[in-house]
Structure 1
Amino acid sequence: MRLCFPQSDVRRTWTVELLPQPGGPVLVCQQCAQGGQRLTGPAARSEVLAHLASHARRDLLPAHLRTCQCHERGCGWHPRHRGCHGPIRLLLARDHGGRAWRLTDACTACAAATSQAAVVPETILAAAVSSRGRANTRRKRHPQGPDSRTRVQEMLNYLAVALPTATGADARLIALQCALRMNNVARVRLPLGLLRSLRLGSASEAWRELSEAGWLRPFMSDGGVITAQMLDAALLTQHPARPDRLQAADWAVRSASSIQTDSAPLPRLAALALAAHTVAGENQGAVSAEQMARECGCRITALPVILKHLVAEEVLVSWTGTGEAGDLRWELVSNRA
């Protein structure tokens, strides 16, 4: 049985010629399909070497697959010697008094036997490739403007003005996600799984409320995703950086889902509003009772019942209020902050 070894399709020999012309030498590459490239006299050599190096960078091959190209061609590039041995090197050779240049893989023995040739340190190619890779790597993006907590707080305050007073808590939770997740043409796609995370189900009544308020126009769900076109043009000026808005939307989902045992949307919206108004890095916060009621879409008189419910759900440690029009203060459970 004859053993067959895979042969590489990558040719590891690149040859260019410099053809003298009245306006200057022309570089002709045997591997490139395009015609000759005219060179300037003083920089001709540099451009030849750069052209050959570009081929070597594009046609990279693992070291264990590289073979001595000189031996493949019958060792006709040098006088006879004892045979191929030693590691494979990248060899640059000059022929015909500098009118032809060759870059090829050659073993250490063949490289030493080749006249007018020099071994090219492959660290030069590796450094060029790595620097090029770093240049093409996208820089890590840093958030612009306020953090997620502040973005949600500002959007809740905006929705308290933009939406009708009677808009329900489930519709406000959806409106918040739509406002934070919409793209640059004011269109948003909400997965049904996200609505389930908020324990809203299909929320058909909430979508109807937002549609009748003229705030958005929902479309039919497709493949588990609900698409809507936002009709509030002012939203395009609220948060210009979409990656930061998406991060804030995820933060809002986690905060609104902090209540595990209750499916009512109003306590979830209240828990989200409290978290948004809590000082970052602390467990305590304060806001006017009137503003909290507007953001939750409820009456001020309903706040004590909601807050007591959040204490029972272990979202709040305690809360205090100084009258209906006064400040509301609270302390979140440490793992909810």
Structure 2
Amino acid sequence: MRLASTHAAVQRIWTVHLRPQTGGPALTCPRCAHSPVLPAASARSAALTHLARHARADTLPGYLRICQCRALGCHWHPRHRGCAGPVLLALTCDRGGRAWRLADACAACAAAMSRTAVVPPTLLGTGRAQPAAGMARPARTTPPFGPAEQQRVREMLTYLATALPRFSSPAARLLALQCALRADHHGQIRLPHGFLRGMRLHGRAELWLELEHAGWLHRLSRRCSPVQAQLLDAAVLHQAPGRTARIRAAQWALRPAPLAASPGLPCALRLTALALAAHSTAGAGGGELDALARQCGQPPQQLEDLLDQLVRARLVTAWHHHHDSGEVRWELPAHSPPSEDAAREAGA
């Protein structure tokens, strides 16, 4: 991590405010002169889009980025042991969702901030590199799923933890994850009814309404097959790498080894299993309890109950909450995924 530089310091802190007024909230930005009035349903998405544009416009090489939190005296969080880790983009909102801040912060500061999520660099990518003229494309192969797919799902879960309202249901979060990873470069989604049946989400019109009410997407048609929708979250439209790699991540998320939960499990358990799988390696895993709870759309106490249910379903061998550090650790079984009987036992 770089905390100081001989180059002129560049402040990579962007803030926007959603100020209520007649006709809808107005988006104000200290760096922009105009303050557009927005529909209430899309104000949240517009704020995130505005911040993403500033971050892409003010791109810096990694060796010039510093922890902006430290530069301001670490006033954004309670005291901790000091700055450490790589410099990341941290997205923070106030309790009412009316003020949003995107800033460079070291991993230690980002973890200590409340109501904060790390924005994956893939969400601010500028697109895929094109092969040079005359260069032959390599033959297509289908390698097995691996850490790359796991990382993309982990990053998207982290982003959706902040981009979606805190009260978004686990089923809506599972649907949003698939939409975000499968959208084309125009942000359009086509999900066949058979695909939704496999996820046990077919006929769940309330989930689409939930995401529409959050201003995150808009269905283009409510009756045609496949279901078609348009993403309204512009930050998701600029993902890197390309769609093929993202679809592989979406496929892995359907059966996230080694925690491939049965589709018969409740959505809350399936989302929790997916979050744990995205943070697991070599038969074990761990993470901050509050961060995992945000990714699963659950309060920490409810997440602990879901972990107990995963143990009963034999998807997790054991787990432990380290209260001093706020982390939760878990161990995974060495055998294959449990049967449908175990799924029914957990959901009972």
- The TM-score normalised by the length of structure 1 is 0.55
CA deviation digits over 1:283-302, x for unaligned, max 9? 10010000110000010010
> Which residue of 1 is the match for residue 214 of structure 2?
213
Q: 1:221 to 1:212 in 2, by over 3 A?
A: closer
Give the conservation status (yes or no) of the 8 Å contact 1:152–1:276.
yes
**Partner residue, 1:250:** 251
Deviation of the 1:196 alpha carbon: 2.0
Change (3 A) 1:262 1:137: closer
Partner of 2:203: 202
1:228 has 2:219 as partner: no
- The equivalent position to 2:271 in structure 1, one of 269, 272, 295, is 269
Do the aligned partners of residues 261 and 219 (structure 1) sit closer, same or farther apart at CA in structure 2, a change above 3 Å counting?
A: closer
With over 3 angstroms needed to count, the CA separation of the structure-2 counterparts of 1:320 and 1:219, relative to structure 1, is same
In structure 2, the CA distance between the partners of 1:136 and 1:323, relative to structure 1 (3 Å rule), is closer
Distance 1:324 1:302 in 2: 19
**In the alignment, is the contact (CA less than 8 A) between 2:174 and 2:271 conserved in 1?**
yes
Residue 19 of structure 1 corresponds to none
Q: Are residues 298 and 230 of structure 1, via their aligned partners in 2, closer, same or farther at CA, if it must alter by over 3 Å?
A: same
Q: Secondary structure at the match of 2:268?
A: helix
CA 329–146 in structure 1, closer or farther in 2 if over 3 Å, else same:
closer
- Give the % identical residues: 41
**TM-superposed deviation, 1:189:** 0.6
CA distance in 2, matches of 1:249, 1:191: 15
Number of the residue aligned with 1:175? 176
In the TM superposition, what is the alpha-carbon distance from 1:333 to its structure 2 partner?
2.3
Does the 8 A contact of 1:289 with 1:325 survive in 2? no
2-side partners of 1:324 and 1:229: how far apart?
A: 44
Describe the shift of the 1:324–1:183 C-alpha distance in structure 2 as closer, same or farther (beyond 3 A): farther
Structure 1 distance, partners of 2:263, 2:194, is: 18
Contact 2:192/2:225, CA 8 A, preserved across alignment: yes
Q: Equivalent of 1:259, from 254, 258, 261?
A: 261
1:1-337 alignment to 2 at 5 Å? 139-140=139-140, 147-221=148-222, 224-255=225-256, 258-260=260-262, 262-279=264-281, 282-323=282-323, 326-334=326-334, 335-336=336-337
1:225: how far off?
Answer: 1.2
In structure 2, the gaps of 5 or more residues are: 1-134, 339-348
The 1-side partners of 2:174 and 2:263 are apart by 18
Q: Which position in structure 2 is the counterpart of 1:81?
A: none
Flag structure 1 segments of 5+ consecutive residues without an equivalent: 1-134
CA contact (8 A) 1:171 1:209 kept: yes
Distance 1:325 1:136 in 2: 51
* Displacement after TM superposition at 1:138 (Å): 5.3
Q: Is the 8 A contact 1:170 1:206 kept in 2?
A: yes
How much does 1:200 deviate?
2.1
In the TM superposition, residue 242 of structure 1 has moved relative to its aligned partner by: 0.7
Aligned residues: 200
| Structure 1 counterpart SS, 2:186 | coil
User: How far apart in 2 are the matches of 1:227 and 1:254?
Assistant: 24
Q: Which residue of 2 aligns with 1:30?
A: none
CA distance in 2, matches of 1:292, 1:153: 10
